[in-house]
Amino acid sequence: MDNSHFSDTYRKMKRAQPLASLSVRAAVGDPRRGWLIAGPHTIPVALGRGGIIANKREGDGGTPKGTFLPKRLWWRADRHPRPQTFLPVRAIRADDAWCEDPASRHYNRPLKLRHGDDGDRLRRDDHLYDFIIEIDHNTSPRIAGLGSAVFLHLARPNFSPTAGCVSMTKSAMLHLLRQIGPDTNIIIG
């Protein structure tokens, strides 16, 4: 078996450095669509139905304005091979979910759900959450009601607005994952 391709890929990735920053901006004329600029690449994205907003609140449909860091990649290992990235990676399991209840002590954190429990399940039938980049929006400190489950994830085929996340095509996501790491600033706004 020839391992030269693997060795070349590994050496290239080892020499490569993640981007220091990337930016997300709303498109002119449609605040629910936008552009993610990562180095020389510009990627079309869908934004929250409320556009980019400075004072994010739970359920408002806005994409929060600010500078955030990616925490980790969650991915559907049952559907896709592990992607190349500088981020920590975690496979999504059937019981993985995200707490969106401001009254819960688990608010804006991942949690394990049993059948019938409430929460935003990370393992979905559609493909929107096949790749999720978790960002540090409203995490330190976590403040009840200031928004939860703000991710970078896959877009719907028609690029319809999100509930507050930034979404993109699978090919754009895989390209982005190869360029970002835990210290990459994500500047939204």
Q: Label residue 171 by pLDDT band (50, 70, 90).
A: very high
CA dist 67 and 185 (Å) reads: 6
- The answer to whether residues 37 and 22 touch, using CB atoms and an 8 Å cutoff, is yes
pTM score of the predicted model: 0.89
pLDDT tens per residue across span 37-63: 999 999 999 999 999 999 999 999 999
Position 117 confidence tier, pLDDT thresholds 50, 70, 90: low
How do strand 21-27 and strand 185-188 relate by DSSP bridges? parallel
Q: Would you state the pLDDT for residue 10?
A: 47
| CATH fold for domain 18-188 | L,D-transpeptidase catalytic domain-like (2.40.440)
Q: Do residues 180 and 38 lie in contact, with contact meaning Cβ atoms separated by under 8 Å?
A: yes
pLDDT, tens only, 5-39: 544 544 454 558 999 999 999 999 999 999 999 99
For residues 26, 29, 30 and 33, what is the CA-based torsion angle, rounded to 10 degrees? Answer: -40
- By CB atoms closer than 10 A (0-12, 13-18, 19+), residue 187 is middle
Exposure of 62 by Cβ count < 10 A (0-12 exposed, 13-18 middle, 19+ buried)?
buried
Q: What average pLDDT does the chain have?
A: 92
Q: Give the pLDDT confidence score for residue 108 in this predicted structure.
A: 96
